Structure 1
Amino acid sequence: MLSDHWPLLGLRVRTPRLELRPPTENDLAMVADVAARGIHEPGRNPFLSSWADRPPAERAQEILRRHWRHLGAWSPSDWALGLAVFESGRPVGMQHMHGKEFAVLGEVLTGSWLGREFQGRGIGTEMRSAVLHLAFAGLGAAYALSETFADNPAALAISRKLGYRTDGITRYAVDGHARPSQRFRMSRAQWEATDRPQITIAGLDPCLAMFGAERPRPVGG
């Protein structure tokens, strides 16, 4: 089976209403359909590039290219995990987690997108909680990082609600304009002190070496 050679295919993270998993080809097609239907209001791009402003077919193709590019470049010292997010069996978006030299630094950077039709219902907060659980409880991370443009109030609210601390400002040149981005950082101790929904992880043990991770110490230990 393909999962014998790429055990990430068996990874599952579940919250009370969501399942996050590496997408199969069929999953990826459905997620691309969500992106094609729209991610944000016109003129309010929350990303470093303008891929979500492109025509529907190009948005869908970008989802495929990005996923395949990350798979092809994967190594334990530099990886990017893309998890398709499902609610009641239907795809709603993608949650990403990146790690460079994770075995040394123990840090992950998260990012995500959610179909516009599914926004405003707390799904973004729940999927971020899920990937934080994977990072800290699953991989034993020391820190989780996030970064959000200063004019993206929904994403800023998620980071603050989940207990991140501000970690400075980065300025980016986007479409010929300077845009400030707020950095956030959460330590393992801060994460352990927060209230969280019930979250479970399945299929992680065979994947640990792919992340450059060892079996983590128990939460609270």
Structure 2
Amino acid sequence: MTTMSSIWPLFDLKLRTPRLELRPITDQDIPAAVDAARSGIHEPGRNPFSTPWSELPDDELGPNMARWYWRCRAECTPENWTLLLGIWHEGQFVGCQDVGAKELAALKTVSTGSWLKQSVQGVGLGKEMRAAVVLWAFDWLGAEVAESEAAQWNTASLGVSRSLGYEPNGITRKAWGSKVQTVQHVRVTPDTFKRPEWSLQVQGHEAAAKFLSVR
């Protein structure tokens, strides 16, 4: 029998850390993702996202999030992909960690971004989920660089980066919704990465790697 996983093997990928499970967001997960976002991600007027999606009215937030999840799937090719991993903590959907790459075979570089609902911030989950995708990128995908960025005022995100061994990689000015922000770019390599003491558990990697043409 043909299953959704046989058509879209990325759905079988699971990354497990001591406190978290990361897995691709399915259509069945979208309502939980929207509820988590609606519960609050950041203080009003302190938007950490270059596209201010989290500030949309409730009746627009859900459709906008669904379109983004569908678009990332529709545009996923071995040459250019963004994988949106839902974060489950104690059985609850609490955020999203994305990891993506352009021309991974040649550039050996991935980029990441994330969000967590406010009620679980400040206890190290952001660091744990970032470490998970960096470990997967370096140890399973063969990446040699992981990049990220944050508004210069976003000390929480930049603190996570620093704690994992990321180093500054230049600054730029970007349109951040209706504002202009100074953005700090950071990068980490296997040599500078501060590996966690725990081991990452990975399920479904082989089919996902084949789908993404990772050798």
Alignment TM class, shorter chain as reference? over 0.9
Structure 1 residue 209: Cα displacement: 2.8
Give the one of 23, 26, 29 matched to 1:24. Answer: 26
* Contact 1:102–1:212 (CA under 8 A) maintained in structure 2: no
AA partner of residue 140 (structure 1): G
Secondary structure at 2:32 match in 1: helix
- Stretch deviating more after TM superposition (87-96 or 170-179): 170-179
Rounded to whole Å, the distance in 2 between the matches of 1:159 and 1:80 is 20
Q: Runs of 5+ in structure 1 lacking a partner?
A: 215-221
Please state how far the C-alpha of 1:204 moved relative to its aligned partner: 0.5
Contact kept in structure 1, 2:50 and 2:177, CA below 8 Å: no
Q: Distance in 2 between matches of 1:33 and 1:88?
A: 16
Which residue type is aligned with residue 65 of structure 1?
R
Distance 1:195 1:7 in 2: 28
Question: Residue 63 of structure 1 aligns with which residue?
Answer: 65
Question: Residue 36 of structure 2 is aligned with which of 34, 37, 52?
Answer: 34
Deviation of 1:176 after TM superposition, in Å, equals: 4.1
Show the counterpart of 2:126: 124
Determine the C-alpha separation between the residues in 2 that align with 1:203 and 1:175.
Answer: 37
- The Cα of 1:66 is off from its aligned counterpart by 0.7
Q: How does 1:154-165 map to 2 (within 5 A)?
A: 154-165=156-167
**1:206: which partner in 2?**
207
- 2-side partners of 1:26 and 1:5: how far apart? 17
Tell me how far apart the structure 2 counterparts of residues 118 and 79 of structure 1 sit (CA, whole Å). 28
The DSSP-based 3-state class of the residue aligned with 2:70 is helix
How far is the alpha carbon of 1:64 from its aligned partner? 1.1
Separation in 2 of the partners of 1:87 and 1:160? 24
- Once residues 183 and 86 of structure 2 are traced to their aligned partners in structure 1, the CA distance between those partners, rounded to angstroms, is 25
Shift of 1:88: 1.3
Q: TM-score scaled by structure 1?
A: 0.92
Unpaired runs of 5+ in structure 2?
none
Compared CA separation, residues 196 and 185, structure 1 to 2 (3 A): farther
Kept in 2: contact 1:76–1:209 (CA 8 A): no
Query: Any idea what SS the aligned residue of 1:201 has?
Result: strand
Q: For 1:177 and 1:61, how far apart are their aligned partners in 2?
A: 24
| Contact residue 37 and residue 56 of structure 1 kept, 8 A | no
Q: CA shift at 1:138, angstroms? A: 1.6
Q: How does 1:31-180 map to 2 (within 5 A)?
A: 31-180=33-182
CA contact (8 A) 2:100 2:112 kept: yes
Query: SS in structure 2 opposite 1:190?
Result: coil
Which stretch shifts more, 205-214 or 143-152?
Answer: 205-214
TM, length-normalised to structure 2: 0.94
Deviation larger for 58-67 or 101-110: 58-67
Runs of 4+ in 1 over 3 A off after TM superposition: 193-196
